[in-house]
Chain A
Amino acid sequence: MTYQLDFGWLIGSLPVLLKGIRITVQLILIGAVFGVALGISCAWVRALGPKWLKPVVATYVELIRNTPFLIQLFFIFFGLPSLGIRMSELTAANLAMIVNLGAYSCEIIRAGIQATPRGQFEAGASLAMTPLQTFWHVVLVPALQRIWPALSSQIVIVMLGSAVVSQIAAEDLTFAANFIQSRNFRAFETYIVSTLIYLVLASLLRQLLASLGWMLFPRKASR
């Protein structure tokens, strides 16, 4: 069996591919920023928030963590219009990723918050800070530092999981790859290329998150 690899199609397909990369990057950046923000808010509720709000957040978190991402995506894109809520493929994809990462990061961040020594809360309180001020200025950064590797992994998982948004015709990298291979009939080469691009994107994302951690969290300087 001899198979001749052929990448001649690559140049012609470059614009489609680049657009796919752009959409995927955009999805993960928006998803990560708003998803983690949502996760922090929910983690605050579950760990320290008002009692009446806890079951609401718990329901959301368990609902998301115990159903497939693809179904969540379909629910938002195909289900919600029945309630009169319509949105573009891209908006639906963004929303699904934010909601998904929000639930998973909530539990990760909550672990970080709950590992905070009680003395930190007491020190904040004794300095006349309100509970919310203590959370924001005292508890949050060390809590994120504790769970940063786990949170980074989860963000990368969501970025790789974003491939399924091609199923609602959001024109991400996977959508581009499917489109290209349906034209050139070079599925093997097309998916080699798209796999490599995902690999590079994921590595870059990990790097970015590591540097972000480096900036956010002070360490013992070797001054």
Chain B
Amino acid sequence: MSLIAITEVKKRFGDNEVLKGISIDVAPGEVVAIIGKSGSGKSTLLRCINGLETIDEGSIVVAGAQFLPDEVHLKALRLKVGMIFQQFNLFPHLTAGGNVMLSQMVVKKTPKKDAEAVARKMLDRVGLAHKFDALPDELSGGQQQRVAIARALAMQPIALLCDEITSALDPELVAEVLAVVKELAAEGMTLVMVTHEMRFARDVCSRVVFMHQGRVHEIGAPEDVFSNPRTPELRQFLGVQ
């Protein structure tokens, strides 16, 4: 049974239809990379899975939680899928530890002591246990993104959505973030990531989705998609002839 079931999803911004009927099923433990040109709808799709965008048609179901645009359903959905953003979006007035503790205390009503224990564990998991008291401003981009991952993990999601999480990083900081993601994948976390890191997609992902003009243009195992692109659009995107 699929963990994330996306069926015939359509999304319009005014007259502009950015998702033209997307269907993807993600099995538990799968790592799916979504690639494609900017404007192909890949980020929008990811944001729909987390309920940050509404959908006009179709359905999204994550482990039994149906995406409906009311507060109760949104909360149920968001408790199942965590999201990590390109711009980290850490809360600037809270320390790294505070960032990881906040939603546990506010949403799950976890007592402060327990939330702190979880936060320390999660920061340790991303290799930042020693930065518990640092403010986001005092961290490098790579460290901030790892705190963001720890913050999402602290809610114990069953899947993580990564929206170009290394695109805002200096080249030398990309590796430390990808290493954390790779480790999560190895531990069996279900991941859906929009990425431009083709090598990473090839090495780590179980499936690659190539989106083009609001549709799933090609989908398959990374070796097929990368070594044997069937359509001219994908060949052009990958820069192979």
Contacts and interface: CB of A to CB of B under 8 A. Distances in A.
A binds B: yes
Interface residues of B, number: 30
A137 B218 CA distance: 42
Contact of B103 (A117, A128, A141, A217): A128
Contact of B95 (A133, A137, A218): A218
A41 interface: no
B152 interface: yes
Given A119-B87, A137-B106, A142-B92, A127 B135 contact: no
A125 B74 CA distance: 9
Nearest to B151: A127
B85 A129 contact: no
B78 interface: yes
B137 A220 contact: yes
A218 B135 contact: yes
Nearest to B104: A127
Contacts of A133: 106-107
Contact of A123 (B79, B85, B93): B85
B85 A127 contact: no
A137 B89 contact: no
Contacts of B151: 127
B138 A130 contact: no
Contacts of B78: 125-128
Contacts of B50: 125-126
Given A126-B52, A128-B79, A120 B91 contact: yes
A128 B75 CA distance: 5
A119 B85 contact: yes
A122 interface: yes
B71 interface: yes
Contacts of A138: 91, 102
Nearest to B71: A130
B222 interface: no
Contacts of B87: 117, 119
Contacts of B85: 119, 122-123, 126
B138 A218 contact: no
Nearest to B83: A126
Interface string A133-158: 10001100110010000000000000
B124 to A, nearest CB: 20
Interface string B11-39: 00000000000000000000000000000
B51 interface: yes
A208 B117 CA distance: 36
Contacts of B155: 127-128
Q: Which of A122, A127, A138 lies at the interface centre, i.e. has the most chain B CB atoms within 10 A of its CB?
A: A127
A142 B92 CA distance: 7
B51 A127 contact: no
B235 to A, nearest CB: 34
Contacts of B89: 117, 119-120, 122-123
Nearest to A134: B106
A50 to B, nearest CB: 13
Q: Which of B91, B93, B155 lies at the interface centre, i.e. has the most chain A CB atoms within 10 A of its CB?
A: B93
B97 interface: no
B67 to A, nearest CB: 13
18 contacts: A123-B91, A125-B50, A125-B52, A126-B50, A126-B78, A127-B78, A127-B102, A127-B151, A128-B74, A128-B75, A129-B103, A130-B71, A133-B107, A137-B106, A141-B93, A142-B91, A218-B94, A220-B137
Q: Which 6 A-B pairs have the closest CB atoms?
A: A127-B103, A123-B89, A126-B83, A119-B89, A128-B78, A141-B93
Given A125-B51, A133-B107, 12 more contacts: A119-B85, A120-B91, A122-B85, A123-B148, A126-B85, A128-B79, A138-B91, A142-B92, A218-B94, A218-B95, A220-B138, A221-B138
